[in-house]
Structure 1
């Protein structure tokens, strides 16, 4: 399956094709994958994410799945890349990973059927839909700061074409340990349905990205942790968590909170209701 990446090569943004352990540009220059400075593999005009799609995640939260998907928007200023640093602002505690498959649009799409949607998809990449749950109380359901803060949308490492999304495993690792283990087979709505659903009222342009949902066991990570998302046939997206040197400004806006909703969401459900106390990490 062809795989294309975007890297910074000799000071310029270059699209390259993966050939074994090297990345090759159109003019023949080669760079080892481990030596490359990666960029997001696409430049979207928008990033749209589905709230809940994996049945294991729905079961974890002990809630009923909505009859149709619901979505939120991640600003493009949140984009990040393979090997990019994920910044947890000083004073925040609940930064969660969410490993996902990312759909990349290849043709302008509007008012198409699920059966037609595959013709409008360029390929797929990996996303990690990080959530800064410290702001969950203040976002009024929009998820803007929770999911849209700077650096919280890494994509990569590459765009893979001719990939069949059916029955592929999805795993997330923290410091080498498996923490999420899911499959695209447990998705309530597949990639074609999601594209068609959004395109009913929103025009999708080439490069736009749809994040298709995460399996169970999203949990907080700490500065110094290395988080990797591996999807069968798409490779492995790697990022390191770092602490931001500055706290969130306190002279305007709502501040990070540590309410019951924040803590229960960060640790996978209503812990007080279950009689389980959420572990506290610094």
Structure 2
């Protein structure tokens, strides 16, 4: 199957959509730039970002839990968007920032009340995502995941949007400082890309550019400032980001504060923890 990869970059001060041709990115007016030298932006500008909770069977087994009868979801605000090469900020005073390598679905046509068998016609393409989680806030936001998954910079997408890509049978890997930290396959997903789109579109209209995150395999763990995290899937390239510490702590004069409870640690460490008497919760 023929694929085409589009990227959004900042080129001579303007936001430009380009096509990748080998190691180069080509604008519609003929300007060319090496992909390695480009200032990348998120490949799409979604109106909403919807993410599924558990979907990969290896993640379910890691937590010693079970899947619900149907997918459950949470929402990441668009202010959490980040891009290939961008810095992911761990706020000062927080400890448990976890990577979660995923494949993101990008909607191409307005979509509402469709069958799973028809969903492919409404998908423009796919990109890589890293659904970072700031688990220090899990005690207060475990239901909504708002601060856990929606804080600024915690949704890198990229490097490009690939049209014509077949999601079946694709390996998905996450690397931390060049070492494989997560390894899974789209074939271990309980609900595939078409099912997820159709499920959300039953009650929520999906518009062109909207993004759905399809879940992560086992192996999510905390990362530290200075770490480089990369997500890779065959045909989608390699999304790279680095971790930095925010310049100021989370304010203490309002709101819930970062915690380090048994639930926070059990989730962040994926069941690899000492408090064996506590059952690891779902992601």
With normalisation by structure 2, the TM-score equals 0.96
Q: Per the alignment, in what secondary structure is the counterpart of residue 212 of structure 2?
A: strand
Give the C-alpha shift of residue 64 in structure 1: 1.2
**Matched residue, 1:120:** 122
Give the C-alpha shift of residue 140 in structure 1: 4.3
CA distance in 1, matches of 2:50, 2:165: 21
- The question of whether the paired residues in 1 share the 8 Å contact of 2:47 and 2:209 is answered with yes
**Matched residue, 1:219:** 221
Computed over aligned residues only, the root mean square deviation of the Cα atoms, in angstroms, reads 1.1
Tell me: CA distance 1:142–1:270, structure 2 relative to 1, closer, same or farther (3 Å): farther
Provide Cα deviations, 1:165-197, integer angstroms capped at 9, x if missing partner: 001000000000000010000000000000000
Provide Cα deviations, 1:94-143, integer angstroms capped at 9, x if missing partner: 00000000000000000000000000000000000000000000114110
Give the C-alpha shift of residue 269 in structure 1: 2.5
Structure 1 segments (4+ residues) deviating >6 Å: none
- Corresponding position: 1:90 with 2:103: no
The alignment covers a number of residue pairs equal to 276
Q: Per the alignment, in what secondary structure is the counterpart of residue 56 of structure 1?
A: helix
CA distance in 2, matches of 1:17, 1:256: 42
**Aligned 1:166-205 pairs, distance under 5 A:** 166-205=168-207
With normalisation by structure 1, the TM-score equals 0.96
- The question of whether the paired residues in 2 share the 8 Å contact of 1:61 and 1:270 is answered with no
Return the match for 1:238 from 237, 240, 245. 240
**Matched residue, 2:44:** 42
Provide Cα deviations, 1:179-222, integer angstroms capped at 9, x if missing partner: 00100000000000000000000000000000000000100000
Provide Cα deviations, 1:4-52, integer angstroms capped at 9, x if missing partner: 0000000000000000000000000000001100000000000000000
**Aligned 1:24-35 pairs, distance under 5 A:** 24-35=26-37
- The question of whether the paired residues in 1 share the 8 Å contact of 2:229 and 2:241 is answered with yes
Structure 1 residues without counterparts, runs of 5 or longer: 277-282
Question: Which deviates further from its counterpart, 266-275 or 114-123?
Answer: 266-275
CA distance in 1, matches of 2:260, 2:101: 24
- Corresponding position: 1:75 with 2:73: no
- The question of whether the paired residues in 1 share the 8 Å contact of 2:103 and 2:214 is answered with yes
Return the match for 1:133 from 123, 132, 135. 135
CA distance in 2, matches of 1:128, 1:261: 22
Structure 2 residues without counterparts, runs of 5 or longer: 279-283
Q: Per the alignment, in what secondary structure is the counterpart of residue 71 of structure 2?
A: coil
**Matched residue, 1:162:** 164
**Matched residue, 2:281:** none
CA distance in 2, matches of 1:232, 1:261: 34
- The question of whether the paired residues in 2 share the 8 Å contact of 1:101 and 1:126 is answered with yes
Q: Per the alignment, in what secondary structure is the counterpart of residue 60 of structure 2?
A: helix
CA distance in 2, matches of 1:117, 1:144: 28
